[in-house]
Amino acid sequence: MDLGFSHRIEKEALELPHWIKEFLRFGFEFFEKKNERRRIAIFSVPTRSIGPGLVVVGALCARLSEDAADDIQHHFDRIRNSVLKRRGPQKEILRKANQKGLYEPIAVLSDVNLIQVARIDTADNLKLTIGLKNCTSWYFEGEMPIISSRYSRVDHLDAYRMLFKKLSKNAAFNLQLSDSAICFAGLGSGKSSTYALYKDACFEVDGKSFSLSFLMSILGWSDDAAPRVTYYNTRTKSLDRRVSKPKLVIADGLAAMLDVLNSSTFESSDVICFYERALDRNSLEDVSNQISSSYQWYKRSTSPINFTIPSIFYVELEEK
């Protein structure tokens, strides 16, 4: 589907169309805004657009500026928890990056906050320790490493910088690591067809072309860049990576919206959702009922993020 966007960003004059800037700014400000109460933003849109993808990129850029905006702590906690599972049916095996060998977590050395692992595929019973600093060299058997030389590509930092000039110094370091604070719940049609929607929308920076799908930084969409956004498949009701619970979910379409708002996986996450309002009355009533039932726990936000694109309706709710 042609969603009609290709834009060249000149080095000096960044002048994007108003609607593109609105979506990017909204994503950035919504993520950046610190609020202790859970927030739900709902957009009623007249037609399908790349808006949800732009909001993802906006939020991703806000996240890039934060300290420790990566999966390291979660990864370390997971290795730590795997010690407890070692005798059960769901025991997990570890591998060390660029080295042979399978390791089993055997003990937590609490006083030094280290985890002891033992090699199990040879008789030497080699024992090593994993700490918060070196845990990124370890990954679970059958999964992707959370950092490796594969993720050295950070040239898209320039593209993010052209979109958001105030990106902090953290961004370059953060871009090398995977992160799962932001989740994108795509259309029910699946990950590859959702990808197809975004791959044709391109930004051109200094002669290099960056597709929106690349900048959304979802595993498998961004070649050799570290995944910074997880993907939730509405049809299979599963995430594409084993991660901690996201801080923010962006849901594209009615099915994703209803699914995310009713899923226990996202019960503590902020949510931004989009639905195309050219729906049958029954579906519109489903949306209405969803919002009405939320009103027990939520109220209209007193200081919503400003958003103005003609023909788009927007409401922001926050926990009472």
Binding of residue 27 to another protein (CB under 8 A)? no
208-211 sheet: strands from edge to edge: 6-9, 202-205, 208-211
Nearer to another protein, 125 or 303 (CB): 303
CA–CA distance from 33 to each of 140, 159, 168, 309 (Å)?
A: 34, 23, 16, 21
Q: Does 16 bind another protein (CB under 8 A)?
A: no
User: Closest Cα to residue 226, out of 241, 211, 237?
Assistant: 241
CB nearer to another protein: give 2 or 124: 2
- 278 lines the binding site for another protein (CB under 8 A): yes
Among 26, 31, 43, 266, interactor with another protein by CB under 8 A: 43
Shortest Cβ 20–another protein spacing (Å): 9
Minimum gap (Å) between residue 130 Cβ and another protein: 35
The residue from 24, 42, 64, 147 that contacts another protein (CB under 8 A) is 42
Closest CB to another protein among residues 58, 145? 58
Q: Which residue lies nearer to another protein by CB, 54 or 225?
A: 54
Contacts of 267 (CB under 8 A, 6+ apart): none
Applying CB under 8 A, does 196 fall inside the site for another protein? no
The least CB distance from residue 294 to another protein, in Å, is: 11
Q: Is 26 in the site for another protein (CB under 8 A)?
A: no
Count the neighbouring beta carbons within 10 Å of the beta carbon of residue 178: 27
Q: How far is the CB of 54 from another protein (least distance, A)?
A: 10
Q: Is 284 in the site for another protein (CB under 8 A)?
A: yes
At residue 1, the 3 state secondary structure works out as coil
Residue 86 CB partners (closer than 8 Å, separation 6+):
92, 104, 105, 106
Structure tokens at 199: 């791959």
Q: What are phi and psi of 223, to 5 degrees?
A: 45, -110
Token pair for 2? 């042609």
* Cβ-proximal residues to 301 (8 Å cutoff; 6+ apart), any chain: 39, 316, 317, 318
Among 3, 93, 118, 154, binds another protein (CB under 8 A): 3
Interacting residues with another protein (CB under 8 A): 1-5, 17, 19, 42-49, 51, 276-282, 284, 287-288, 291, 300, 309-315
